[in-house]
């Protein structure tokens, strides 16, 4: 009798494995192999009559989907974006007890920007069932699986956010992000201590349109694919499009570093920023993957000055550098973005994550592919990914060691620098800022052609003077530390205008 494959429901139709692969236009793939005896063991309990016959021929829904879902080879090739989405879906089904998939938004060409959340839950009933299922389906590892403990929810900051594929041609960053996902899911037993302590959000491809264009048409392409109607050029550098001193590095649309016509003009950067703000209170470490400068950097990119807690970020970067040096002998440089690149880089996601979203540890990891360029040979993917994961894992461990110190500092009263000294106030600045926003918005809605209203409305300079009394995080220090604090006297009109999240149209 010929073997029959359990059909898989896709978009309202039923298809077997081969037709499913053809439907998705998949390349050569590796399929998960499930022992027939194991599958039979996981069938629903048989009963009399029709239910008995149904159970005897149909395994559980999860096992049925697992038997059919293709698993792309993520460790030894550069996957297409469709294959990446397929792999994330495979993980969602295979490890449903601790894996979730989120859609941040859509790219210009309507591709979904996906993030994977990996987090060991604290629900004892869920974990009891999950452990039982894992032990039954993988008896070889029963002894290790029995060691799993219930993860209690962490207080304070406990999330690590990793993103790759911002620049289209940097394929290796996508592969390293996928390698991190592979380690935290398919090799989760090896990293159980890390998974007990931290929650991971990983976006393997921030710029899917550019990534696909780079793979299929122009390997040197860097930007996204949104065209500019005024001049006919295509693409914006997504790592120059964030709203933090965005106008410091303006360039022409034909340049690779074109920052866009305004901050957040691109759907990809909007989607990423919205997710960061949503997770902001919980994010401990933000890591942006790039290539190929072989260094680990921290803010600022828009300025040569250093942030107040740069020592903490430097210690995390040094921990990763030492781990990589031990693993492969490769040496990474460590420093601020502006000091290592020797130029000003404004509007970057790392500056935004640290300066606006207020993530305490924000780093850029430039991967080591100097001798190969942005796309190392296929045979180098696995060793480079393993080396990078070694450093990233150490970053996460060291960040967690700093967690208690960071949480303690954030619980201290906020001290605001004023012209007369230090003044403590927790709630009044926020209230004042909201009042200023309302006043400015009402001004914008007025008819500027009315001479009486023009005479009555406050001037831009008056609003800026009011804003100087509402000192935002750039001028906030905690505890007794006043390192690199900036006096309100030196603040510019443009900076205060950007803090108020609107343009003062006077």
Does residue 271 belong to any structural domain of this protein? yes
Going along 51-156, which residue ranges are E strands?
70-71, 99-106, 112-118
Whether 268 is catalytic is no
Structure tokens at 422: 């230090």
Residue 272 within a domain: yes
CA 315 to chain centre: 21
**Can you tell me the distance from the alpha carbon of 68 to that of 8, in angstroms, rounded to the nearest whole number?**
7
Domain of residue 220 covers 73-126+153-410
> Contact at 8 Å (CB) between 258 and 223?
yes
Here the CATH number for the domain that contains residue 287 is: 3.40.630.10
Q: What angle do CA 306, 470, 363 make, to 5 degrees?
A: 25
Per-residue pLDDT of the chain (506 residues), as tens digits, is: 444 444 444 333 344 444 444 555 544 444 443 344 334 443 444 444 444 444 444 444 444 555 456 788 888 899 999 999 999 999 999 999 999 999 999 999 999 999 999 998 644 334 445 555 555 555 444 444 444 443 444 567 999 999 999 999 999 999 999 999 999 999 999 999 899 999 999 999 999 999 999 999 999 999 999 998 888 899 999 999 999 999 887 888 899 999 999 999 999 999 999 999 999 999 999 999 999 899 999 999 999 999 999 999 999 999 999 999 999 999 999 999 999 999 999 999 999 999 999 999 999 999 986 677 889 999 999 999 999 999 999 999 999 999 989 988 877 654 444 434 444 344 344 444 555 555 555 555 544 444 444 444 444 445 444 444 444 433 333 333 333 333 332 333 333 334 333 333 33
**Residue 462 domain-assigned (yes or no):** no
In a domain, 120, yes or no: yes
Q: Is residue 456 situated within a structural domain?
A: no
Domain membership flag for residue 349: yes
Number of domains forming the structure of the chain: 1
Catalytic residue among 366, 401, 428, 503: 366
For the entire predicted model, the pTM comes to 0.68
Please give the C-alpha separations between residue 177 and each of 62, 165, 185, 372, in angstroms, as whole numbers.
Answer: 26, 9, 12, 19
Is residue 95 in some structural domain? yes
The answer to whether residue 405 is domain-embedded is: yes
CB 429 within 8 A of CB 471: yes
């Amino acid at each position: 009798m010929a073997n029959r494959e359990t059909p898989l429901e896709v978009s309202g139709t039923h298809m077997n494995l081969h037709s499913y692969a053809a439907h998705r236009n998949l390349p050569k793939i590796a399929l998960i192999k499930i022992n027939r005896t194991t599958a039979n063991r996981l069938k629903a309990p048989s009963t009399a009559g029709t239910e008995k016959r149904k159970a005897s021929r149909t395994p559980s829904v999860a096992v049925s989907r697992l038997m059919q879902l293709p698993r792309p080879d993520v460790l030894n090739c550069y996957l297409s974006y469709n294959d990446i989405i397929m792999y994330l879906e495979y993980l969602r089904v295979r490890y449903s007890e601790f894996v979730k998939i989120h859609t941040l938004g859509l790219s210009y060409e309507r591709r979904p920007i996906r993030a994977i959340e990996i987090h060991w839950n604290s629900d004892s009933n869920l974990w009891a069932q999950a452990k039982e299922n894992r032990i039954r389906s993988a008896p070889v590892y029963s002894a290790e699986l029995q060691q799993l403990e219930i993860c209690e929810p962490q207080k304070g900051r406990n999330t690590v956010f990793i993103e790759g594929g911002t620049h289209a041609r940097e394929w290796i960053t996508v592969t390293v992000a996928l390698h991190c996902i592979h380690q935290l899911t398919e090799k989760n037993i090896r990293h159980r201590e890390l998974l007990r302590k931290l929650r991971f959000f990983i976006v393997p491809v921030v710029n899917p349109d550019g990534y696909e264009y780079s793979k299929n048409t122009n390997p040197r392409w860097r930007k996204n694919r949104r065209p500019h109607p005024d001049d006919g050029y295509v693409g914006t550098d997504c790592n120059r499009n964030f709203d933090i001193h965005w106008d410091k590095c303006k360039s022409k649309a034909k340049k690779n570093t074109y920052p866009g016509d305004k901050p957040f003009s691109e759907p990809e950067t909007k989607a990423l920023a919205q997710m960061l703000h949503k997770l902001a209170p919980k994010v401990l470490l933000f890591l942006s993957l790039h290539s190929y400068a072989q260094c680990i950097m921290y803010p600022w990119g828009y300025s040569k000055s250093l942030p107040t807690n740069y020592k903490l970020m430097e210690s995390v970067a040094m921990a990763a550098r030492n781990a990589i040096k031990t693993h492969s002998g490769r040496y990474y440089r460590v420093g601020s973005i502006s000091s290592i690149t020797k130029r000003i880089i404004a509007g970057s996601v790392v500056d935004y994550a640290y300066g606006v979203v207020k993530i305490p540890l924000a780093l850029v990891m430039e991967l080591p592919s100097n001798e190969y360029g942005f796309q190392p040979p296929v045979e180098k993917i696995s060793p480079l990914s393993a080396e990078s994961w070694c450093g990233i894992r150490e970053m996460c461990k060291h960040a967690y060691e700093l967690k208690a110190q960071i949480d303690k500092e954030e619980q201290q009263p906020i001290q605001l620098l004023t012209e007369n000294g230090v003044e403590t106030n927790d709630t009044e600045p926020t209230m004042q800022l909201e009042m200023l926003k309302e006043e400015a918005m009402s001004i914008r809605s007025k008819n500027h052609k009315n001479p009486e209203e023009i005479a009555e409305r406050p001037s831009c300079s008056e609003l800026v003077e009011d804003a100087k009394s509402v000192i935002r995080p750039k001028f906030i220090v905690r505890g007794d530390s006043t390192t690199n604090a900036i006096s309100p006297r030196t603040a510019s009109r443009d900076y205060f205008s950007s803090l108020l999240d609107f343009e003062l149209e006077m």
